[in-house]
Amino acid sequence: MIPMMQPFRVLFARTELLLVPLVCFCVMSAFVGAALFSEFSWTDDHEVISFIMAPESLAHTIQVDFLEGRFRPLYYALRHLQYHVFGITPFYWHLFVFGVGVTTLVALYALVRRFAPPGLAALAVALVFLYPSSSAIWYRLGPQETLGMLLIVLALLMLVRGQYRGFVLLSVLTMYYKETFALLMPALLMLRLAYAIIVRRESVRSAWFDLFTLAAFGVVPLALMALLRAGDATGYGLVPRNMLTQNVINNLVAMTLPVAFMTPIFFAVLGFQRYAVPVLVILLLWMVPQAVVHGDVFVERYYWPSILAPIITTPVALWALRAYPRVLTLSIALLLLPTPVSYYHLSRQTEGAARYVTENAEFQETMRSTAAAQPARSEWNYPLSWQVESRWSTVLFLRLYGYQGPITFGEDCEGLYCDAGLVADP
């Protein structure tokens, strides 16, 4: 039997129980801790303010969002709950995302630790931050992929611990969180089936209830997304038909750097026929739909949940290679090749968190000072690509801070705020 399929008897040693959460907290604090004290952002965070400026029912929010091409019932249910608990105090919102991020890292470590020693489990945590742009989800409030990642990691942890009902429940919650997570349904079905047959040596019949439940709940969001795709509009985040092939290739390349391209090689080189086919099928089912659904090359939130598969399988595969020193040495060498690029992106993410705080502070100060001045009219100019979000944010925040005058928007300009963009009538 392949070595990695022998789970460790003890999930955490006593020292790990203390050290792992502490280390994950320190890692998060070092890279994105500054964002804890950020103001609300002009992008995405206006959604939070909209709850107080134009309160709507949860059902109405989900319906309107679906008509725009998105399926996010659990996401908006959480948003409404957070608003009632946190209000419009940005620190509480950021603290929640930060806490979910730390919990996700701990759960990811626990998952990989079932099959590999502590060093390789720590590698999985490190890969979270080494992927280009992926760590932006740990401090940006708007996308909130962070909670979706926690749900799917916990689901996988339930699976490897043999707690199948927990796996099914968390998988269903994940699929109803966001449309990108709903695309994991085929991969989750294959995971449950493969784990029953190959790892636990159970019959297919023993897993039929779980498979049926996952398929029954998963077909709803997938059918709705297919309905959107069949219409004239491409919908939010969907690839235009005339650019499908090009964008899928671009996105797959983005997902397979820096380590995903190695994972299938580990299994194929060693000739693990019994495991190579299921692993490759699961990887394809996990990653290809993510490459298809997005209309542009991957940035920030689009990396999740696609890169979770290589993040988990790469350390496990390295552990499986310990009986093959030469292949292991070659694999480690290949793994280190993209290190300079990964470090470059990691440094950019650390700077990005600080820049995020600065830009948000400048934007909020501009909104407050404008509202306090109460000009007869204010005109704002934004880059064309930012006009939809920036206009909506400007209106919401100005009204929140008490500005009552007319707000107009000019033509395209250069620069983030176009020198504050305010043109007040005398």
pLDDT recorded at residue 404: 86
What SS3 class is residue 184? coil
pLDDT recorded at residue 9: 45
pLDDT recorded at residue 245: 54
pLDDT recorded at residue 424: 32
Higher pLDDT, 369 or 414: 369
**Is residue 235 over pLDDT 50?**
no
Instruction: Report the share of the chain in percent with pLDDT over 90.
Output: 15
pTM value?
0.83
Cβ count within 10 A of residue 290:
25
DSSP string, 270-320: HT-HHHHHHHHHHHHHHHHHHHHH-SSS--GGGGTTTTHHHHHHHHHHHHH
Residue 159 near residue 167 (C-beta atoms within 8 A) = yes
**Cα–Cα distance between 391 and 322 in angstroms, integer?**
56
Instruction: Report the share of the chain in percent with pLDDT over 70.
Output: 69
Give the tens place of pLDDT for each residue, 182-205.
889 999 999 999 888 888 888 888
pLDDT recorded at residue 411: 56
Average confidence (pLDDT) over 243-272: 56
Reported as a pLDDT band with limits 50, 70 and 90, residue 382 is low
Give the tens place of pLDDT for each residue, 112-162.
999 889 988 998 888 887 765 555 566 676 667 788 889 999 999 999 998
Q: How far is CA 236 from CA 69, 103, 176, 270, 393, in A?
A: 5, 29, 16, 42, 19
**Is residue 388 over pLDDT 90?**
no
Highest-scoring range by mean pLDDT, 55-69, 98-112, 241-255, 270-284: 98-112
Give the tens place of pLDDT for each residue, 53-103.
766 777 777 777 777 767 888 988 888 888 888 888 889 988 998 899 899
Cβ count within 10 A of residue 108:
25
CA 343 and chain centroid, separation: 20
pLDDT recorded at residue 8: 47
pLDDT recorded at residue 415: 41
Return the exposure string of 211-227: e unless at least 16 CB atoms fall within 10 Å of the residue's CB, then b.
bebbeebbeebbebbee
Reported as a pLDDT band with limits 50, 70 and 90, residue 418 is very low
Six-digit token string for 143: 């996308």
Highest-scoring range by mean pLDDT, 13-27, 129-143, 220-234, 240-254: 13-27
Indicate the average pLDDT of the chain. 75
Q: Which ranges of 114-163 does DSSP label H, i.e. alpha helix?
A: 118-130, 145-160
